[in-house]
Structure 1
Amino acid sequence: MDITIYNADRKTAEAAIEQVEQTFQIMHHEWHAWEKGGIVSKINQAIANQQAITIPQSVADFIVKSQRLSQQSMGLFDPGIGSLVELWGFHSEKWQGPPPSDEAIRAWLSHKPSIANLSIQGNQLISSNRYVQLDFGGNAKGLAIDIALQTLQDDGIKNALVSIGGDMKAMGSKDHQAWSIGIQNPQNPNQAIAQIALSGGESIVTSGNYQRYFEWQGKRYSHILDPNTGYPANTFSSVTVIHADATTADSAATAILVAGPEHWLEVAKSMGITQAFCVDNQGKILQTKEMAKRVKLL
């Protein structure tokens, strides 16, 4: 996490940053799918045991929002595939082969767990599919960014940039100018492939198959999985999305990357995304008209 604050006195800025850090510590414990005792872990346990579970309103709201985003993505973004993430070993700190067998993938696909299988009545959550396991790796960073900006705003901060693992949201300006953001080159992540000026209230999120992966017998396996095939998405190297809501941007970047060159625009439109920048495995750039107006290629 990286927080940049401009034009605020040091004491106010430090107090605001400390509050964000405390919030994030709680969030990491509660929202990490594999942290024992956190709310997501408890939900997953209840689903596996085919039991209802009482959840806080804030969690219910985020699940409902994630269900809506999943539906808009035509199922390509789906936080209900935690058991597939586990099958591939991407739930642990170290990602390594071998990849799961074709039989294991087919078995998982036969159950087709999805966040759509969840229903919430009052404060009770229940699943019609006991194979659903929630993993919000695809959009919890977006939620965290939105919460961080709100926390800073509540503390009187007017100009800030919050970055979590390269996903960013801006508030206000940097010395009365837009924030200059570089988009990583997937083939050489130390270099930028493009530059963009980010205004206050905008978030920019990148999903890439070069960020987390393992190699096995000469082949690279990315952590971004296609719920329809059970295998890693492998057509786009990276997708960058700009949207006012960081959670939406985070979810859409994942979905568009999974959609690939043939269906990316269709998925972007369905999710209300007008600004997307995609790089395929050969380095070819595909982008929306709105994005092309703003991006400066390097």
Structure 2
Amino acid sequence: MAAAAGLSLAFSGCSRSEPPYESQILVFGTEVDIKIYHPDKYAVNEAIAKINRDFQKFHHEWHAWEKGGIVSRINEAITRKQPIEVAESVKTFILKSQQLSESSGYLFDPAIGKLIALWGFHSEQWQGPPPDNEAIHNWLTNRPSIKDLYFIGRRLYSHSTQVQLDFGGNAKGLALDMALQSLQSTGIEHALVSIGGDMKALGTKPGNHPWKVAVSNPHIPAEPIASLALYGEESVVTSGTYQRFFEWQGQRYSHILNPNTGYPATGFASVTVLHPDATTADAAATALLIAGPQQWRHVAEQMQIEYALCIGYSGQIEQTKAMEKRAKLL
């Protein structure tokens, strides 16, 4: 799954005397940090253990190139021109991803697994060389898309055998949404879950204080460029071109690919999106980054994104009007 970029938790402003419970899980190829305020330590430990189990299972099922998971089985069935029956939850997520893709103008499109593989981002090491122009041209000629998929009941079909799903662009958002639902179901009311820096909040910090989130400077990742106040039922996701890439003959190639060109996106260095639904925020951050300075506002409007902060390669910052009021530039 794609690496998250650009967000960290600021620890100032805590007013409750007892400290939060904190736990870290290694999954999705990154660190998952869980911070919980709750009086019952046993309930907290049970909740964290459940999230760990759910995330480990989720990673196996939704990993694009790990054999045996649901995505792998779907991709194999598509290649064989066969339908495959899926769980209702899987169908719901695919339908939601189709809607998000359509509203993004298919800049976000989870059906580009073959293109991702061409660029070598289906391996643990990304070292090049980049694919040749003919290979990319051939992929663009077919231009598989998630809109090629359709359901009859719970049976999934594809109009194109070239579709290979890879939900690296929004699966972590789904995992965040699932984690917060899981915490709520156990009676926990105040928590923050971070997957590689992408976050979703439940409730607030003690004293009704918001969670403080720092947005990294993509040019100096260790330094924050802005801060955000994150309230309950809100998520914040950043897509960036500076954490997962390879260099070849002096040129850097990012893992975020533009489905319309077949090449890495060059629109922005990073995009941060705040939205109640983490799955939507995850997809939108990717789409706005690909859209770049000329198109991002239109795409944000189409995806109904109210809060977005975009950072260009030369350091310029562009924001929605709502985000201008919400983000504090540092």
| TM-score, normalised via structure 2 length | 0.90
The residue aligned with 1:207 is: 239
Query: Are 1:8 and 1:157, in contact at CA under 8 Å, matched by a contact in 2?
Result: no
Q: Deviations over 1:151-198 (max 9, x none)?
A: 011011100000001110001111120000000110011111000110
Q: Work out the CA distance in 2 between the residues paired with 1:114 and 1:256.
A: 18
Report % sequence identity: 60
Question: What amino acid is aligned across from residue 186 of structure 2 in structure 1?
Answer: D
Flag structure 2 segments of 5+ consecutive residues without an equivalent. 1-31
Task: Give the distance between the partners of 1:8 and 1:100, measured in 2 at CA.
Answer: 54
Is the contact between residue 252 and residue 273 of structure 1 (CA under 8 Å) also seen in structure 2?
Answer: yes
**Displacement, 1:7?**
3.2
C-alpha contact (below 8 Å) 2:38/2:44 kept by paired residues: no
Q: Does 1:149 align with 2:180?
A: yes
Q: Which residue of 2 aligns with 1:221?
A: 253
2:309 match: 277
- 1:181 matched to 2:209? The reply is no
SS of corresponding position for 2:117: helix
User: CA offset at residue 36 of structure 1?
Assistant: 0.2
Partner of residue 111 from structure 2, selected from 74, 80, 83: 80
Cα deviations by residue, 1:109-129 (Å, 9 ceiling, x for unpaired): 011000000001101101000
Aligned-CA RMSD value: 0.6
Q: Partner residue of 1:119?
A: 150
Answering whether residue 136 of structure 2 is matched by residue 100 of structure 1, we say no
**1:15 matches 2:46:** yes
**Which residue, out of 287, 290, 298, partners 2:322?**
290
Residue number in structure 1 paired with 2:18: none
Q: Which residue of 1 aligns with 2:20?
A: none
* Distance (whole Å) between structure 2 residues aligned to residue 11 and residue 193 of structure 1: 38
Name which of 232, 251, 266 aligns with 2:298: 266
Q: Are 2:284 and 1:252 equivalent residues in the alignment?
A: yes
Paired residues, what number?
298
Whole-Å separation in 2 of the counterparts to 1:8 and 1:184? 33
Displacement over 3 Å in runs of 4+: none
SS of equivalent to 1:193: strand
Structure number with greater CO (CA < 8 Å, separation at least 6) is 2
CA distance in 2, matches of 1:188, 1:10: 38
Does structure 1 residue 37 correspond to structure 2 residue 68?
A: yes
Asked if residue 53 in structure 1 is aligned to residue 84 in structure 2, the reply is: yes
Distance 1:17 1:94 in 2: 31
Deviation at 1:223, TM superposition (A): 0.4
